[in-house]
Structure 1
């Protein structure tokens, strides 16, 4: 079995499942965790010693998961990179832009992400107020707006939680063997990844088509086959 960490519905690029390998099972399904740190987020996901395949920022969560496993998880990371405060600020601004006309200024971003729980609480309250006001402005009552408001807020908090969990330094301890599969122009973030056995495969592909590229599929399958042979010899 292969565990897939790939945030659903948030990017136009080909998903990890485009590799077409057997035994791929998703790890991120609704309801998604609402946790503001990598360790707390990983603790909400159920995984054994099987390989984890992760895309971009989800690579950080994959590393946190691997550190929780009794046996080392092999990791295959596609264009791995951490999220930044700018990524989180843009995601919050995106949510606010979807409920305009409230008249209130967005929360001052400042140092809020340094306190993830307070940040998520503050953003949740802010978005709840905004979407409720937007729906009431259309003549809808509180009873009617409660469900849609809660769904809207939950979706955006889930994404912000994911970004927060993928932000910052990773655990120091080594994990299992790692393969990073990089598109043509993606920077090599090996200095951010944990110490350990790391193989890099550079694919002549743009980022959008990386996980659908035949060389990525073949390279990933070869890496996983090699790891499996080592486990049983």
Structure 2
């Protein structure tokens, strides 16, 4: 018997919060496919980003039983569910990736390089962030690289020669790539219009997490509040029990009929 396929969007970076993998859904007989695996997508829009993620996930994704997404990846999960016509979308502490969120995260990256608060660059604006192009990431890469060089020179008392600088930049290249992976994820999560989704979204929330109700584009949103912390939401036995109930159709509610699949964006441009 073929195991039901679950598609998961959960950013793999370091964090204190438990992960979707902590639900141990494989032990319940599901074929769990984690779409966000290195090398991570760098698509310039939510459609391009999720297309890249799906391309690495293996066969038979169109027959997925459900899509699960954590936090800011909820918009990506919605796009995946629309693309493949999946009727079940489960999100965990789902959040909208606003321009303010992206700006805050970018400043945090800059401060991790410089060791002090840094203002957003003059070219930063919401129109550039909203564009479905690679210009935003290209500017971020140049800006981050400039700050890395400046920080290295300051740490060396301004005495780095070209070879020293090149060696230092090569050593820091994986760090810069990680920064750009994170920014690409944030930009893609922001670059969505939350299109109508003819299915119910089941939103699992920790005890203090603000609810997004209704979830944008969803036909209906069912909120399931778990009496646990944000860090422990995905490791809590109650969460696991209720997720399994939702997946087998016995609750929180039976899943609706399958939604129509979204056309491939590469056939006629992407959002």
Normalised TM-score (structure 2): 0.74
* 1:135-178 superposed Cα distances (whole Å, 9 cap, x missing partner): 45544624423423432222111111111222265442324443
- State whether structure 2 residue 243 is matched by structure 1 residue 185: no
Report if aligned partners of 1:72, 1:175 keep a CA contact under 8 Å in 2: no
Question: Which sections of structure 2, spanning at least 5 residues, go unmatched?
Answer: 258-271
Give the distance between the partners of 1:86 and 1:53, measured in 2 at CA: 25
Which secondary structure does the structure 2 equivalent of 1:166 belong to? helix
Report if aligned partners of 1:63, 1:175 keep a CA contact under 8 Å in 2: no
Report if aligned partners of 2:88, 2:255 keep a CA contact under 8 Å in 1: no
Report if aligned partners of 2:214, 2:220 keep a CA contact under 8 Å in 1: no
Superposed CA RMSD in Å reads 2.8
Report if aligned partners of 1:128, 1:150 keep a CA contact under 8 Å in 2: no
- How do 1:1-233 and structure 2 match up within 5 A? 1-22=5-26, 23-46=31-54, 48=61, 49-50=63-64, 51-69=66-84, 71-100=85-114, 107-108=121-122, 109-111=124-126, 112-115=128-131, 117-135=134-152, 138=156, 139=160, 141-167=164-190, 169-226=192-249
Aligned residues: 229
Give the distance between the partners of 1:224 and 1:191, measured in 2 at CA: 21
Report if aligned partners of 1:107, 1:123 keep a CA contact under 8 Å in 2: no
Give the distance between the partners of 1:153 and 1:35, measured in 2 at CA: 17
What is the CA distance between 1:56 and its match in structure 2? 0.9
Question: Which sections of structure 1, spanning at least 5 residues, go unmatched?
Answer: none
Give the distance between the partners of 1:76 and 1:229, measured in 2 at CA: 11
Give the distance between the partners of 1:195 and 1:60, measured in 2 at CA: 11
4+ residue stretches of structure 1 with deviation over 6 A?
A: 227-231
Report if aligned partners of 1:132, 1:149 keep a CA contact under 8 Å in 2: no
Give the distance between the partners of 1:133 and 1:40, measured in 2 at CA: 33
Which secondary structure does the structure 1 equivalent of 2:232 belong to? helix
Report if aligned partners of 2:70, 2:92 keep a CA contact under 8 Å in 1: yes
Report if aligned partners of 1:60, 1:170 keep a CA contact under 8 Å in 2: no
Normalised TM-score (structure 1): 0.84
Which secondary structure does the structure 2 equivalent of 1:66 belong to? helix
Give the distance between the partners of 1:199 and 1:229, measured in 2 at CA: 11
CA distance 1:66–1:182, change in 2 (3 Å): same
Give the distance between the partners of 1:201 and 1:131, measured in 2 at CA: 43
